[in-house]
Amino acid sequence: MKAQFWSFDILFAMIIFVSAVVLMTAVWLDISGQYSIGYGNGPQEMQAQLQSLSGRITGTGYPQSWYSAVDPSNSETWNNISIGLGSASGGISEKKVEELIAMDSVDYQYTKSLVGTGYDYYIIIGNSDLNITMGMSPAAGNAVSIQSVEKPVTIGGAGAVMTVELWTNTTFGID
């Protein structure tokens, strides 16, 4: 009788132990999987979004005259558009720039999706006579990571440089 009781105790303890190990393993794998998806490729994903945004922002957007279809003070009119600052003639449209600046001041978070990024963005168009900024400055948002690209553009018939920056104020991993 004593041997049967001892076997039952061991069997019950082993079931509890194995269940705890399986549960801990499942939790560990889930957490490490989330870490690698959320943080492991962060800089590469940011760089990929930056390259996509810098190409898209110099395009004309959708529809090509999206600026005439929106009311910058009413974000409900911003549906079904994709923002591009390019004009049909190949330069940057001053009217589209003005509209994006006005839209930024109403709902910056919504404009992030319209330009096609999940990160914060900051666009600077400038030359010796011009300094236009759109989006949110990395300095104002306490940026931790910034990726940028410069492109030569034409605006108002003059040459300029467009700097497109994507940034975040969260880290990509454990310091």
Name the residue ranges covered by the structural domains of the chain: 1-40, 41-168
Q: Which DSSP string corresponds to 15-39?
A: HHHHHHHHHHHHHHHHHHHHHIIII
Task: Report the pLDDT value the prediction gives residue 174, as an integer from 0 to 100.
Answer: 42
pLDDT band at 2 (very low <50, low <70, confident <90, very high): low
Task: Report the pLDDT value the prediction gives residue 36, as an integer from 0 to 100.
Answer: 47
Contact criterion met (CB below 8 Å) for 110 and 75 = yes
> Residue 154 pLDDT > 70, yes or no?
yes
High-pLDDT (> 70) share of the chain, %:
86
Tokens 């969260």 appear where?
Answer: 170
Which is higher by pLDDT, 112 or 41?
Answer: 112
Model pTM? 0.69
> Residue 161 pLDDT > 90, yes or no?
yes
> Residue 91 pLDDT > 80, yes or no?
yes
Rounded to 5°, the CA angle 60-61-65 comes to 75
Phi then psi dihedrals of residue 135, to 5 deg: 95, -155
* pLDDT tens track for 45-83: 888 888 888 888 888 888 888 888 888 888 888 888 888
Q: Which residues of 19-53 are buried (b: 16+ CB within 10 A; e: fewer)?
A: eeeeeeeeeeeeeeeeeeeeeeebeeebeebbeeb
> Residue 144 pLDDT > 60, yes or no?
yes
